Amino acid sequence: MAITVTDVEAAMAEYYKLHPDKAQCLRSKETLRLFNPRGEAMQGQKFHIKTWLNPSRGARRVNAVTAESSEWPEARKANWQDWYIEWSDLTEYRTTVEYTGLAEDKTADAKMCVYKTAEKYIGMVDDDIATQVNNSIHQSTNCKIAAIAAKYHDDGTAYTNNTHTTAYFQIKGGSIVQIMQNDRIEIRAGTSTTSTRVICYVNDVYPGTNGPGGTADIGPGFTATYESTGQTGGATTNFDSAAADDELVLSGETSANIFGFPSFFSWTTAMYSLTRTTLGNGWTIPKLMYDYSVAGAAVDFDPEIHFATMALDLAYAVQNGRNMRQGDGIKMTANAMVALGDPEVVDEMSRLGGDRVKYTKELSAAQKQDIIGSIGFDGAWFHHPNIGPIAIQSDPAATPRTIRYLDPNSWFWVTGGLGGPTSVRWLDKDGKKFRNQPGANGRPKDVWVGGAHARVALVNDCPGANAQISGVKSSLRSA
């Protein structure tokens, strides 16, 4: 019995009906799962956000003798700030999937086979969008994945200009996990969002410190082949012009990224409709940002210095914001802070903390639920009497050599009205998700394509309750 497109469409509809939670692109991945959807419905193309600034501060002292004849203090009330996110601040994530020859698949159990096929394509779309959203949290608004650290021949030897159409690039300032085999990458001229030097395809990815042929200390990086068609702008016909500090982005992306961590952890970058440098808007700035690098080189992470300094200062920034949100009826998802970092610094945190009383690897299920709630947790945590437990979370997509201490309750998603707070929506044409793709001469081909999308923005209503440490590394790595 053959599987038809109609069968797949019906099975996908049934799958979403039976498993609505499976269609949530923001419920997976290491960083995505930390934040819940929240925010009022859109009105007038704006999302309304209310941020509590301070509780009621009307209590005043008076001598007991004069209390009988003196007036009570002037009434005070809790203070908040209303602000908004424009519709144009949302980022739309799109993906397209295709299959061929589906109608030729034969099976004795067509119902089971078609259901599994539908499940596969739903999973592919959800995972594709989830991966891209998770990656973009760690990118700046210009969608930069990383920058070129150095350029080599594709065998790892020194590059010499001779119109080469293959090369190896060592990267810096971003995670290699965000680059995958067969990715179409644009190499921009420096930090430009309009000038592209060359467009290429990724051949192989080298995640460690060794490059092609085992060449030491030129990783992480990737080999690439120049794309012979589709070059735009000032793109050249080889890799000769690609240089150190040129930025790498996925093809077609310019400056449409969500407002991610690099933008939130800033003194000056405007936070949606709010200008951070305006007096009174200081609450929008995560003021606890520490750079421990020396002459641009990262230093070994030391919890007794780097963690202790953060814990000393952060204790003054977290509690008021939590109290205000609870008073407003916002459900607290976790009692713990989260220390989010790339595998290198998380490994160092784990190894150095192993023999200290403030650190443990194992918690009971009840303890995990009380500390972490519904956000998920891998088991390792620091504890400090100033700020309580801090869950250690590794994300391979995170900014290298940076630890961000996050209050998960201060972060949330607003979404673009796609029928559910975290669902993707498939393009629909006459009730169908897939349609036949014609060939170059307009005749049909046995190729079927479907598209899905999600619109989201990441919001933080208490940036000051979060902290960042940069310029730290594992003692197993060189500077």
pTM (two decimals): 0.81
Contact between 72 and 445 (Cβ < 8 Å)? no
Determine contact, residues 135/178, Cβ cutoff 8 Å: yes
pLDDT at 103: 45
**Residue 467, strand partner residues:** 288, 405
Residue 361 neighbours by CB distance under 10 Å: 12
Query: Given the DSSP bridges, would you call strands 467-470 and 288-291 parallel, antiparallel or unpaired?
Result: parallel
Contact 426/450 with Cβ under 8 angstroms?
Answer: yes
Token pair 């310029």: residue: 471
The CA R_g of the chain, rounded to the nearest whole Å, is: 26
> According to the model, what pLDDT value does residue 242 have?
92
Identical topology for domains 146-250 and 261-411+462-473: no
Architecture of domain 146-250: Beta Barrel (2.40)
Intra-chain end-to-end CA distance of the chain, in Å: 61
Token pair of 354 as six digits: 């192993």
Q: CA-CA distance, 148 to 419, in Å (whole number)?
A: 40
Give φ, ψ of 413 to 5 degrees: -105, 145
Supply the pLDDT for residue 15: 64
Q: State how far the Cα of 330 lies from the Cα of 308, in Å rounded to an integer.
A: 30
Domain ranges of the chain: 5-54+78-138+414-460, 146-250, 261-411+462-473
* Residues 117, 111 contacting (CB under 8 angstroms): no
Rounded CA-CA distance 82/452 in Å is: 33
| pLDDT of the chain, 479 residues: tens digit per residue | 556 666 666 666 666 665 554 434 444 466 777 777 665 555 667 787 877 777 677 788 888 888 888 888 887 766 777 888 888 888 888 888 776 655 445 455 555 566 566 667 777 777 888 888 889 999 988 889 999 999 999 999 999 988 889 999 999 999 999 999 999 999 998 877 778 888 999 999 999 999 999 999 999 999 999 987 766 655 567 899 899 999 999 988 877 788 889 999 988 888 888 898 899 888 888 888 999 999 989 999 988 788 888 888 887 776 665 655 555 555 545 567 788 899 888 888 877 655 444 444 455 555 555 554 444 445 567 777 777 778 788 899 999 999 998 888 788 888 775 544 456 777 877 777 777 778 778 787 777 787 888 888 888 888 888 899 999 998 888 76
How far is the C-alpha of 215 from the C-alpha of 213, rounded, in Å? 5
Q: Give a three-class secondary structure readout of the chain.
A: CECCHHHHHHHHHHHHHHCHHHHECCCCCCCHHHCEECCCCCECCEEEEEEEEECCCCCCCCCHHHHCCCCCCCCCCCEEEEEEEEHHHCEEEEEEEEEECHHHCECCCHHHHHHHHHHHHHHHHHHHHHHHHHHHHCCCCCCCCEEEEEEECCCCCECCCCCCCEEEEEEECCCHHHCCCCCEEEEECCCCCCCEEEEEEEEEEECCCCCHHHCCCCCCEEEEEECCCCCCCCCCCCCCCCCCCCEEEECCCCCCCCCCHHHHCCCCCCECCECCCCCCCHHHCCCEEEECCECCECEECCHHHHHHHHHHHHHHHHHHHHHHHHHCCCCCCCCCEEEEECHHHHHHHHHHHCCCCCEECCCCHHHHHHHHCCCCCCCCEEEECCCEEEEEEECCCCCCCEEEEECHHHEEEEECCCCCCCECEECCECCECEEEEECCCCCEEEEEEEEEEEEEEEEECCHHHCEEEECEECCCCCC
Distance, in Å, from the CA atom of 186 to the CA atom of 147, rounded to the nearest integer, reads 11
Neighbours of 398 (CB within 10 A): 28
Domain 261-411+462-473 fold: capsid protein of prophage fold (3.30.1930)
* pLDDT attached to residue 370: 52
- Helices 5-18 and 110-137 cross at an angle (nearest 10°) of 60
Alpha carbon dihedral 232, 236, 239, 244, in 10-degree steps, equals -80
